[in-house]
Amino acid sequence: MNTYTINSFKKANKHSKKKTINFLNTIKKKKKKIGLFACHALSDAAHGLGINYAFSSYYEQLKLTLDFLDRNYDSSTIWIFKAHPSSRELKEEDTIKNLVKSYKNKRLIICPLKIKTKDLMSVSDYVISGRGTISLEAVCEGKISINCGFSAFSDLDLLYEAKSQNEYFNWLKNLKNLKKPNESTINRARKVMYLLENNFLDEKIVNKKIAKYKINKIFNKYVEDKNFLSKMYLENFKAENKLDNLVNLLSKSI
């Protein structure tokens, strides 16, 4: 299992059962569409994987998204903003909480501490991230998912991936027109998640290119060649038969 991701998942799902139930019941009583904005750690390097990210920083995405949602009134949707699991250690939680509350907008809600991300996603209609794994998790759960930066699952036609701020905000403006992932897309997203979470590309030889450039090296030394990385994924993940072959091979090796 990918150490960074599973540790983040555990942190994100530490919770108070009573607090979670009370918060979710309060949200559901509003009988509105629910959007979940999953913040990145604000101090992370937003362009660490290259320049293909629609904002200058994760903070800028958060701030401009709040500005947009505050200006563009939509009484049918409420938005929950949840800090990244690492934000407590990085002392960012107050920054996020104070920023959201500064808008004094009842439709923009800061998520209380100790609420499971998994439970939040279960009641959400839309999930937004920069380039986080939660974008892929959302598709696995059949949610409309939007991100705006290059990731390990880019260009696989699994979610709405904005290439610019204009495209990103246009989708936010027209959420009602966005389509949920169909059953085929959900199943393919789950297969991709299974492979990525089990570090398949780090341990197995998928093709000659991956044999030469293991995934850990690509995300470090070869990060500038993100287009090559994307094409490599596409070759193995976009074709259903190849994806199934990878899943079957991995299943036998565990």
Which whole number is the average pLDDT over 114-140? 92
Indicate the pairing of strand 126-128 with strand 33-38: parallel
| pTM beyond cutoff 0.75 | yes
Q: How much is the pLDDT for 53?
A: 87
User: pLDDT class for 145, splitting at 50, 70, 90?
Assistant: very high
Please determine, for residue 12, whether its predicted confidence score (pLDDT) is greater than 60. no
Dihedral of alpha carbons 99, 78, 113, 44, sign:
negative
* pLDDT at residue 205 greater than cutoff 60: no
Residue 17, SS3 per DSSP:
helix
pLDDT, tens only, 52-61: 789 999 999 9
More confident residue, 190 or 213: 190
* Angstrom distance (rounded) from CA 184 to CA 11: 30
- pLDDT at 40 > cutoff 50: yes
Q: Which fold has domain 3-180?
A: Rossmann fold (3.40.50)
| Local structure of 173: helix, strand or coil | helix
Average pLDDT over residues 109-116: 88
Q: Greater confidence, 13 or 242?
A: 242
The three-class DSSP label of residue 58 is helix
**Which pLDDT score, from 0 to 100, does residue 211 have?**
45
User: Which pLDDT score is estimated for 7?
Assistant: 52
At residue 184, the pLDDT reads 92
Domain residue spans of the chain = 3-180, 198-253
Is the pLDDT confidence value at 47 over 80?
no
DSSP state of 33: E
Q: Map residue 196 onto helix, strand or coil.
A: helix
Average pLDDT over every residue of 126-152: 92
Quick: pLDDT tens for 229-238.
555 556 666 6
12-21 long-range contacts (CB < 8 A, ≥24 apart) are 12/85, 12/116, 12/117, 12/118, 13/116, 13/117, 13/118, 14/114, 14/116, 15/114, 15/115, 15/116, 15/119, 16/114, 16/115, 19/112, 19/114, 19/115, 20/114, 20/115, 20/116, 20/119
**CA 242 to centroid of chain Cα atoms:** 24
Mean pLDDT score of the chain, rounded to an integer?
A: 79
Residue 103 to residues 22, 70, 99, 126: CA-CA distances in angstroms? Answer: 24, 7, 7, 21
